[in-house]
Amino acid sequence: MQKEKDNMPTSALGKKANIDQIKSVVSLGDKASPAIKDTNLDCKCAVIKSENFSFYYGLKVGVKNITMEIYPCSVTAIIGPSGCGKSTFLRSINRINDLIPHTRVEGNLLVNGHNVYDKNTNLVNLRQQVGMVFQKPNPFPKSIFENAAYGPRLQGVKNRSQLQQVVENSLKAAALWDEVKDDLKKSALALSGGQQQRLCIARALATRPNIILMDEPCSALDPIATGKIEDLIDKLQNDYTIVIVTHNMQQAARVSARTAFFCLGELIEYDSTAKIFRNPGKKQTEDYVTGRFG
Amino acid sequence: MAKHLQREIENLKKKLLALGAKVETFVRDATLSIEKRDAVLAQKIINNDIDIDNTEIEIEEDCLKILALHQPVAIDLRFIVAVLKINNDLERIGDLAVNIAERAVFLAGQPKVNIPVDIVDMAHHAQSMLKQSLDALINHDGQLAHKVCASDDIIDGMNRQMYLKVQEAILENPEQISSLIHLLSASRHLERIADHTTNIAEDVIYMIEGQIIRHRTEEYK
């Protein structure tokens, strides 16, 4: 149980998942810019590692034999047509798919070296470490403060000033603080869609995760709100590993360093985003990114 | 979305081909005007240069419109980038044909000079390279584009020969110095046309293979 804000939560996987440790191993550069995105790809220490991972809904295959590595402190985009398994894969990383009956997995899916589908995995701790942001902003029908404080409260933080500090830090990290600092008691539902989505990101950040999964986080937002979320993703990638599923290929091209193309449950191509959108190695990828698919 | 983009790309391709055909005609007529000492044909080329300039601007605007409206990626992006550059090279080839035509106007008014280097043969080589580079673009033929890159050396060699022969001819017939220098200029322009044609072939290779081979053509010959 987290006692102090500065302590990273003990991970579900039995070891401290400290972003500073990861950073010291991979010695990352400064804030990623398009010019240096490719250099970040040199990181050898994968934070998420999928080894022949398959996910089945009953007899139906969700994803099949996915083998890929996702590197820390960078943005990895997953693209592909509807039903290709990209969300299934994303949702397997923090086992949200467990809520669906009659599912089973094969292969390994490792987060910080530990198989998340191990029977000893503590799901609460796993989801604390691997935060998630969904397509539609889903703040709780509570105040802005209570939304951001929800995770830390569950973790046992009761001290008011500590909670205030966590809320302020999370809202600042989610680039929302300046807009809401005088209205923290206001209902979260009164915020605009873009603000609600940033609040959801703040809520995810409040539990101190080191991985953030985003499932089409901007698809319900207008271009201005989308721009703010993309700026936020750019900022967050300095400290967090972000995996984003998006239907908007231009968005994948803008925000990510690496892109994975899924089709019919299989990983077709996984490479630097620059390569995928300039000169993809597979015809299938080229057909998809150029809109000739099908 | 994809259909709109494909339609725009097809239109662009047609326009670029039309420009290519026009430039080919320019180079052919410019050479012919030197060969036949035809000042009228040469003047016609000089007067029509504006058509090429206008088409070049039109193609560039089309490319910018496609980039802004469709944000193409992969092969489509590489095609648009190649067209932007090829368009520029074609316009420069047109200008060089006009320069040759200007030499032809001068030479037509002078006594004929005979030197043992065949400028017509050189012109045919340059025209053939231009045609092949445009064929490579249309047919997505990387092999043909590589062949064009390799052919550039032949024209370079011919131009060097021309320089030496003109030097000798000036020593032998100093009274023809003006005509000989104009002839050398025409040869230099043909060599530059071949260089631009090589650029086109390199852009075609980039479009097809996604590899920039500029400045390291030797490795790819």
pLDDT tens-place values along chain A, 294 residues long: 333 333 333 344 444 444 443 333 333 333 333 333 343 444 458 999 999 999 999 999 999 999 999 999 999 999 999 999 999 999 999 999 988 999 999 999 999 989 999 989 999 889 989 999 998 999 999 999 999 999 999 888 999 999 999 999 999 999 999 999 999 999 999 999 999 999 999 999 999 999 999 999 998 888 888 898 999 999 999 999 999 999 999 999 999 999 999 999 999 999 999 999 999 999 999 999 998 875
By three-state DSSP, how is residue B92 classified?
A: helix
Q: Identify all chain A residues contacting B78, using CB atoms and an 8 Å cutoff.
A: 278-279
| Contact call for residues B200 and B88 (beta carbons, < 8 A) | no
Which uninterrupted H or E stretch holds B126?
A: helix B119-139
- B211 CA: distance to closest CA in chain A (Å): 9
Whether the predicted interface score ipTM is above 0.90:
no
By three-state DSSP, how is residue A159 classified?
A: coil
Closest CA to B137 of B89, B94, B93, B95: B89
Which uninterrupted H or E stretch holds B146?
A: helix B142-172
Give the separation between CA A238 and CA A233, rounded to whole angstroms: 9
Q: Identify all chain B residues contacting A250, using CB atoms and an 8 Å cutoff.
A: 71
**Do the Cβ atoms of B74 and A279 come within 8 Å?**
yes
Number of H helices, E strands in chain B: 7, 0
Q: Identify all chain A residues contacting B75, using CB atoms and an 8 Å cutoff.
A: 286, 290
**Do the Cβ atoms of A286 and B75 come within 8 Å?**
yes
Judge whether A261 is closer than 8 Å to chain B, CB to CB. Answer: no
φ/ψ of A266, rounded to 5, equals -115, 150
Taking residues B18-40, what's their average pLDDT?
93
Degrees, nearest 5: CA angle B8-B9-B12: 85
pLDDT at B114: 76
pLDDT in tens, B130-163: 999 999 998 999 999 999 999 889 999 999 999 9
Per-chain mean pLDDT for chain B: 91
pLDDT at A155: 87
Structure tokens at A186: 């206001």
CA neighbours within 13 Å on the CB side: how many for A208? 24
Nearest to A291 among B1, B77, B78 (CB): B1
Interface test with B, best of A261, A276, A290, A293 (most B CBs within 10 A): A290
By three-state DSSP, how is residue B202 classified?
A: helix
Structure tokens at A2: 């987290």
pLDDT in tens, B83-105: 999 999 999 999 999 999 999 99
Taking residues B185-200, what's their average pLDDT?
95
Give the separation between CA B1 and CA A278, rounded to whole angstroms: 19
| Contact call for residues A55 and A103 (beta carbons, < 8 A) | yes
Interface test with A, best of B1, B75, B76, B80 (most A CBs within 10 A): B75
Degrees, nearest 5: CA angle A49-A201-A139: 125
| Contact call for residues B133 and B187 (beta carbons, < 8 A) | no
Burial class (CB in 10 A: 0-12, 13-18, 19+), B101: buried
Judge whether A223 is closer than 8 Å to chain B, CB to CB. Answer: no
CA neighbours within 13 Å on the CB side: how many for A174? 30
Structure tokens at A90: 């994303």
**Residue A52 CB: number of other CB atoms within 10 A?**
12
Q: Identify all chain B residues contacting A253, using CB atoms and an 8 Å cutoff.
A: 73
Closest chain A residue to B79, measured at CA: A278
Q: Tell me the H-state helices in chain A.
A: 19-26, 86-93, 123-129, 144-154, 160-173, 177-180, 193-205, 223-236, 249-255, 273-278, 283-289
Confidence of residue B3 (pLDDT cuts 50, 70, 90): confident
Confidence of residue B119 (pLDDT cuts 50, 70, 90): confident
